A and B are shown apart, each in its own frame.
Chain A
Amino acid sequence: MNIDSIKNGTVIDHIPAGRGMKLYELLGLDKLDCPVAIIKNAVSSQMGRKDIIKIDADIPVSFDIIGYIAPNVTVNIIKGGKLIEKKSIELPETLIDVIKCKNPRCITSTEQELKHIFRLDDPEKRVYRCAYCDTKAE
């Protein structure tokens, strides 16, 4: 795969350096058959160092997961070799099944079929709380 020229796919740019791998895991990109490239510590004029992920396939990615791991990133959507959309991702209000509640007294610890829902409590400090027990996400 030529990482500079994607025909149909997604480029997640301006990921804070060091968070690229975490994002790769949470997005489940390790389970894909298509070419995926992670570029670590690329030089960025704005941020010094950044990570970039390129996915060479027309598959949907979760903006909530991206926003949670790396708010303020840019997601470039490419179709037919052309950049068709440039999205700035904000911190999501709600996270559904992105992270798990670790409070052993939480109802989600005993009822396996419940979705793990977290709500943004403090956007400045990026604090999320479990919708069921209000425990802070780590």
Chain B
Amino acid sequence: MSELRHLIDVSDLTVNEIEELIATANDIIANPGKYAEKCHGKKLATLFFEPSTRTRLSFEAAMYELGGNVLGFSEAQSSSAAKGESVADTAKVVSCYADIIAMRHPKEGAPLVAAQNSTVPVINAGDGGHFHPTQTLADLLTIAREKGGFENLTVGFCGDLKFGRTVHSLISALSRYKGLRVILISPEELKLPSYVKNDILKKAGVEYIQTTDLEEYMPELDILYMTRVQKERFFNEEDYLRLKDSYILTPDRLVNAKADLSVMHPLPRVNEISVEIDKDPRACYFKQVLNGKYIRMALILKLLQSAGTIG
């Protein structure tokens, strides 16, 4: 048995542990009744020091579907942090009430501090611009279900590749598998940082291509991972206005795409995928949301089993 105690970053997980989580999630999807009482009498604390309604709801739905209960807060103002309590003390206190903690915090590394001080498992539900491992796990489950595995995939990443942590994290997770090809589609201003290229892609020997054109490599893609191009990332409004439409996915841009392409997006979207695509069977972004709940269920189960809280 593995000794996974907390989840701070996806890189904490071995390839086997990721496979195990995906297998559990798939089994939950196939046999939800089998899991409906697994966490009966157990409590998940959602400690959200900054609001993230979608992530919090996903964790809460996951725990309820396992038959467990949820307590917590959804913003720092309603927590004891507002009175100046340290993350370490909050973790010690909440360990007395809950069996497992999901923490969202604006400061990078806060969930690690919580894990070091908690007597129950801690899941990082996002720490600033740093890690968001359950989003990456949701992406991985979606890819596993849509593509049957992670090998020999050509994956296009489009939009803000500079600041998008979900992109960096997914690239890092996928680079462990054979035959990965990455197409990086972004404006010059939002190119993938060189440290990601050097430390992850080059180190893993992954073939990658950089382009500013969304349509150029479309016929080759197995997955197109879209992200939001935010106005505040640009120095001036002219550049933003000039570029923003180049990275909007519309039905005509999908004309030459594979019939089994998977279009993904971490959501929320603004306008970077036109709503007409929602009806296209290649749209996977709402499945990603659902998969996010299932992978969180699998993760909660695994951590509570490792901790000996449930059988």
Contact = CB atoms under 8 A, between A and B. Distances in A.
A131 B106 CA distance: 17
Interface string A93-110: 000000000010111111
Interface residues of A, number: 16
A107 B129 contact: no
A133 interface: yes
Q: How large is the interface on B (under 10, 10 to 19, 20 to 34, 35 or more residues)?
A: 10 to 19
Contacts of A108: 109
9 closest A-B pairs (Cβ-Cβ)? A132-B109, A133-B108, A107-B107, A107-B109, A107-B110, A133-B109, A105-B128, A105-B108, A106-B108
Interface in B106-136: 106-110, 112-113, 127-130
Contacts of B86: 111, 113
A107 B109 CA distance: 6
A28 B127 CA distance: 35
Contact of A110 (B88, B107, B112, B130): B107
A111 B112 contact: no
B130 A133 contact: yes
Contacts of B109: 106-108, 130-133
B113 A132 contact: yes
Interface string A105-130: 11111110110000000000000001
B102 interface: no
Interface in B71-114: 86-88, 105-110, 112-113
Contacts of A134: 108, 130
B49 to A, nearest CB: 11
Contacts of A110: 107
A84 B227 CA distance: 62
A128 to B, nearest CB: 14
A132 to B, nearest CB: 3
Interface string A54-69: 0000000000000000
B88 A132 contact: no
Contacts of A109: 107
Contacts of B108: 103, 105-107, 132-135
B129 A111 contact: no
A134 B106 CA distance: 15
A120 to B, nearest CB: 15
A37 to B, nearest CB: 40
A101 B206 CA distance: 31
Contacts of A107: 87, 105, 107-110, 112-113, 127
Contacts of A114: 88, 113
A111 B128 CA distance: 15
A114 B112 CA distance: 12
Contacts of B130: 105, 133-134
Nearest to B129: A105
A103 to B, nearest CB: 7
Contacts of B110: 107, 132
B107 A131 contact: no
